Amino acid sequence: MKKTVLITGASGFVGRHLIPILEEKYNIKKLTRTPNNINEYAWDVSRQYIDDEALDNVDYIIHLAGAKLNEGTPLTEERKKTIYESRIGAADFLRKKLIERKQNIIGYISASAIGYYGFTDKSIEIDENGHKGFGFNADLSADWEDSAYRWKNDAIANYVSIIRVSLVLGKDGGVLPIYDSMLKQNPNVINNMNDSYIPWNHVEDMAGIFAFALENHLDGIYNSVAPEPATVTDIYKAIINQKQSNKYKIIPYEGQHLISKKIEKAGYIFKYPNIELAINQIYNK
pLDDT tens, per residue, the chain with 285 residues: 899 999 999 999 999 999 999 999 999 999 999 999 999 999 999 999 999 999 999 999 999 999 888 766 788 999 999 999 999 999 999 999 999 999 999 999 999 999 999 766 555 688 999 999 999 999 999 999 999 999 999 999 999 999 999 989 988 888 877 777 777 777 766 666 557 788 899 999 999 999 999 999 999 999 999 998 888 778 777 877 776 544 434 334 344 578 899 999 999 999 999 999 999 898 886
Residue 113 sits in the same domain as residue 161: yes
Q: How many domains does the chain have?
A: 2
Residue 19 sits in the same domain as residue 142: yes
Residue 182 sits in the same domain as residue 119: no
Which pLDDT score is estimated for 248? 37
Burial label for 11, CB within 10 Å (0-12, 13-18, 19+), is middle
Residue 159 sits in the same domain as residue 206: yes
Residue 84 sits in the same domain as residue 218: yes
Residue 264 sits in the same domain as residue 139: no
Which pLDDT score is estimated for 208? 98
Measured from the Cβ of residue 174, the count of other Cβ atoms closer than 10 Å reads 19
Residue 26 sits in the same domain as residue 149: yes
Residue 173 sits in the same domain as residue 157: no
Domain of 233 in residue numbering reads as: 169-197+228-284
Q: Which amino acid is at 234?
A: D
Residue 211 sits in the same domain as residue 186: no
Which pLDDT score is estimated for 147? 98
| Cβ atoms 225, 284 nearer than 8 A | no
User: Rounded to 10 degrees, what is the CA torsion of 258, 176, 277, 231?
Assistant: -40
Residue 148 sits in the same domain as residue 87: yes
3-state DSSP: the chain helix, strand, coil percent, rounded to 5?
40, 20, 35
Residue 262 sits in the same domain as residue 156: no
DSSP 243: T
